Structure formats: C-alpha cells, structure tokens
Amino acid sequence: MTSNPPGRRLPQRDPVMAVRRHQLILDSSPAAAGEASIWVRTLAQEHRLPSDWIDGLDLCAVELVANIADYAYGGGAGEIRLELGIAADSVTLVLEDTGPSFDPIARSAPLKPASLDEATIGGYGIHLVRQFADDCQYERDGEANRLYVIFGKPLPRSRHIDRRQCPAPGFPLVRADRQVVTMDQRSGIDRRALGFISRTDLFRDVPYDQLELIVADCRVVRYGEGELVLAAGQQSNRVWVVIEGSLRVHFDGPASEDFLEIPCGECAGEISVADGKLSSAWVVAATESRLLEIDAGTFLEHLLTIPRVGRNLITILAERMRRSNRRITERVQLEMELKALQRELDFARRIQSSMLPANPLFADEPRLDCSGFMRAARQVGGDFFDAMPLDADRYLVAIGDVCNKGMPAALFMAQTLALLRSLALRGRDNDTAYMTELTAEGNNQLCRMNSENLFVSLFIAVVDLESDELRYVNAGHNPPLLVLPGAGPVFVEEPRNPVAGMVPDLKFRSGCIGFPPGSLLLLYTDGVTEAEASDSRQFGEDALVALMDGTGASAATLIERIVEGVDRFAAGYQQADDITLLAVRRC
C-alpha cells in the first residue's frame, strides 16, 4: 500500500459542499481489499456513521477493490485510488483505476442458475454493491475509470442509476441433489461480507484469496451481552473468532470474577477442538458480539494448514498466556495484600474493642447496673459507647455513631471518644450548663480536626444518684428508651440538637428528667432499629419496644435479649451498619 503523499492524507474539507474528504492509494496486491476494508471502516467509525452504513461501505470497498485488481489489471500491478467523502447527510466512496474503459453499471444482472452447482463464479459483485448502496455512478475521465458509491442523499451526477433498477440474484438456490441452500448457509450473513478478515488477528497477513472460500462457508452468529457461548463440560466442536465485541472465559462459573478477556480479533474454543476434550471453562459474551463460527473440521483441516494462520494462532495463545500469567501474578499479589490488610484490620478491631469500657460497667457502684455492647458491620466500625464516674454520685454515659463505616469511621470514632473523655473530666458542676458546654466544646474541636467532613451523632447523659435525675444532651442521635417504675417504655424525644463535627459554634440544649431507683435507660444506634432481613424489611422501633415490655432483667440480660432478637430477625443476612447498645438501670 502506498500513499500520496506518504501516509494517509489529512482530511480535506470541500468549501462548497462541506464534505470531509479522505484519500488513499493502494497497489493491486491480494492484500488490497483487506487494507481498503480497514481504512474505510476506521474512518467511518471515527466519523460516527450509522452502523449499517459502516457495514455497507466495508462490503462495497472489499468487493470493488478485489474486482478492480482482478479485472482492471488482470491480477498484475496497478494503482487503485480511493476517496471517502463524508457530508452531513451522505457518504460517497470513489474508486479510480487506469485499466481499460469499463462501465460495470451497464452490465445486466446475471441469470439465476438452476442450482448452485451450475452457478458461475463472478458477475454478482456490482449487483451486490447496488443492494447495499443508495446510488451508484460511473464515469470515464481521460484514462481513468471512476466509480461512485453513495450512501444517503444521492449527489447530482450524470448517468444516475437507482439500485432498485438492478435486481440481485435471488435466493434460495438449489443444489443438483435438490437440497435447498439459503443465503445464511452460504455465508452466515452474506458470502461477500468478508471485510472483517483483514481485521482479525487470526488471519493477519494471510492473502485474502486463501481465506475467502474457506471463511465464506462459515456462519456469522450474534450473541447478546452476558449470553453463554460455551459451558464447561460440553464437547466443543467449533472455534469462534470475535469479529465485533469481546468474550470472557470464566473458570469458576459463568458469573465468576475470575475470567480472561478475549478481545476482538482473537478466538475461543480452539483448545477443545485441538485436544478433543470437554471444555474446562465457560465462554460468555462480554458485550453484544458478532462471531465467526468455524467447525472443527474446517479449522483443523483447512485453516491450520495455512502456515501464517498457525503462526498467528501461536502468537494469540502466547499473548493470552502472558495475560493469564499477569492476571495470576496480580491475583496472588492482591491476595497477599488482602491477607496483610486483614491482619491489620483484625489488629485495629482489637485495639478499637480495647478502647471501649469493659463489662460490667460501674462494677463498684451497687446503685447502678450498666452494660454495653458493640458489633461492627465490618472489622472496625464507627459506633462507640462510654461510661465513667465523675464523682461519688454522678456517672457519665454516652453513645455515638459516626456517619461512615470502616477505617475512616473507626479513626473518627477514636478521636471523638478520646475528646469526650478529656472534656468530661474537666468539670464537676451540677448545673445543666456542664452538659451543654461539654457538647459545644466537643463539637468545635471535632470541626477543627475533621478534614474528611465526617460527623457523629451523640447522646451524652449524667446520672445523678443524689438528686435522682438524668441530665442529657442529644446531638442528632436516636431517641433513647426510658422505663420509669410502674410505667411502660417511652422514647425521650426532646430536646433534639444537630449532629456534632460539621458546623462550629453551635448552641446545644440539654434536658433533665427524673431517674429514681427502678428506672431503666436504653441507648442504641440505628444499626439496631434499621437491621435488615433478606427481604429488605427493617427490625424497627416497635420490635425494640416489645423486647423491653415487662422486663425486670439485668442490663446485661436485656442487651443479650435485644441482640438475639435482631439476629433472629436478620436470619444471617449481612448487615450494613454497626449494632451498639448501652443499658443503665437504677437499683
């Protein structure tokens, strides 16, 4: 292939007709048709032409270039000039040669043969072109034959001949043994539509005429995305060459994550055909795909006898092995990294667990029965609870839920917990200002060190055993459940405040309720009430309240009952959120 000047010309824009023109010069070698196919299809795809135009242009270029090489130059040396003009509503393919004057459009359609065995070779090319194009025109300009093939709106040229005036040979044809041969049986889609040959890695650099008759007898099949081409355990007697799209070869099931990509131009099924064994993998269409289906006999006895095809197959398999080795290496490396990460996360989980106070809480205080529980949805989580004495009669309890999961939430949880403990030990006043100042200062400090824009919901309370009161601040957290002596469970709804860690300088309101002996306070995170079953139903607040009705159990027993109820509801379904509880009972 040559160019004028060397290399493909830059597209030229016709100032009158607004046509982008591309030019190419080929020699009349056997590879010319394939080179023309690649050139036309590449340009058509770059200009985003309709897919039917792309296929039609490809077919016309292959057919006409092959005919010019055969008939205009008689198989000898010659030059074939191509120009592709792309306008807004039409595409024109121009082919020019310097052979003897010859008007292919003037030729009448060949007579339909009585059977396929009686059909002559040749004579159908221009009629096939007319079948796909919207307009064909011919002119003799000096020493050159010039043929125009137009898709879309016809151009105003002389000797305009509509393709509908030139009927193509009819199908089906009939063999001498009276067996009907359909167009699909002759070529899959069309016997002449073989432009994909030169774009296929398996057929690279193989002369077109060595492949045309072999491939023309093979079917072209289509598969939708995700459709199974071959299942493991099946006897494969076909090889599939990917013309469009791509395939995946899965080793652990048709939907497994472990697969090998078979890109356009490569083939699948050749190993089973070669060794005669059952398929050991699943072949699935990764995208909507068009495949050339070659039966085992044709592949082994005809295609592999062509030295270049065998060499191309070895190259394909070698490259596939390299890709497979890279994938195995990457997978082994990833598994090692995952194991190292798992060890680190397990270590982080143990550290996080050690940061929470151990049960039973306030073991030395007989007037209080307190117990906590936290289970992360992942190895580490963003929930926490805390409990600490402030003096002989006042005890702080708290629960929190960071807005994220995993390691970021765990780190922010650790910051919040450390900050809460530091601020809680600063004051010893009994007035309600202690609670609001503690929360406000904690919010401001969390805002200053919150580079990831996380936030945390908090419920902080002080149990005053001397005054039998509970003073608290709720910063965007779930309302706790309160059970007073002789009464049923109620939600402590007010006052509510914004979450902490997002907006500085907020003012927080506190609440105060009686908390005499026999009272029970249950703090929890939304991982409890929003626990899900496999059908997406949530555990809910009503189920939580039902587990508290009439209970005189210890704090630890109550928490155990709630956790069992949630787990029974979820029935093993993986939860997306941490589950945390803290129960405080006055004795």
**How confident is the model at residue 282, as a pLDDT?**
92
DSSP line for 18-33: TEEEEEEEEESSTTHH
Residues 294-312 have pLDDT tens digits of 998 888 888 888 888 888 8
> What pLDDT shows up at residue 431?
62
Secondary structure string (H, E, C) spanning 78-122: CEEEEEEEECCCEEEEEEEECCCCCCHHHCCCCCCCCCHHHCCCC
Find the DSSP H helices in 356-405: none
Which regions in the chain score pLDDT beneath 70? 1-18, 108-124, 154-199, 427-432, 550-551
Q: Tell me the residue ranges of DSSP E strands in 233-315.
A: 238-244, 247-250, 259-262, 267-268, 282-285, 289-295
| CA 201 to each of CA 192, 206, 309, 369, 443: distance values in angstroms, whole numbers, following the listed order | 20, 10, 9, 76, 64
pLDDT per residue over 484-519, tens digit each?
998 889 999 999 999 999 999 999 999 999 999 999
Q: Which pLDDT does position 194 carry in this prediction?
A: 57
Burial class (CB in 10 A: 0-12, 13-18, 19+), 195: buried
Q: Answer yes or no: are the C-beta atoms of 99 and 65 closer than 8 Å.
A: no
CATH tag, 201-328: 2.60.120.10
| Distance between CA atoms of residues 386 and 420, nearest Å | 9
Which residues, in sequence order, are CB contacts of 441 under 8 Å at separation 6+? 423
276 CB-near residues (< 8 Å, 6+ apart): none
Please name the residue ranges forming H helices in 162-295.
183-187, 208-216, 270-275
Domain residue spans of the chain: 12-172, 201-328, 357-586
Do residues 544 and 528 lie in contact, with contact meaning Cβ atoms separated by under 8 Å?
yes
DSSP strand pairing (469-475 vs 135-141): unpaired
User: What pLDDT score does 462 carry?
Assistant: 93
Question: Mean pLDDT, the chain, as a whole number?
Answer: 82
Q: Are 500 and 439 in contact (CB under 8 A)?
A: yes
**Cα 209 versus chain centre, distance:** 40
- For 16-28, the pLDDT digits (tens) are 446 788 999 998 8
Give 586's strand partners.
Answer: 368
Q: What pLDDT shows up at residue 146?
A: 93
Report how far residue 425's alpha carbon sits from residue 397's, in angstroms, rounded to the nearest whole number: 13
**Tell me: domain 12-172, CATH 3.30.565.10, correct?**
yes
Fold of the 357-586 domain: Phosphatase 2c; domain 1 (3.60.40)
pLDDT attached to residue 569: 95
Record the tokens describing residue 356, joined without a space.
Answer: 């929470």
| DSSP assignment of 442-510 | HHHHHHHT-TT---EEEEEEEEETTTTEEEEEEEBPPPPEEE-TTS--EE---S-BPPBSSSSS-----
What pLDDT is attached to residue 228?
93
Strands 19-27 and 79-86: antiparallel
The size of the chain, in residues, is 587
Predicted local distance difference test score (pLDDT) of residue 403: 86
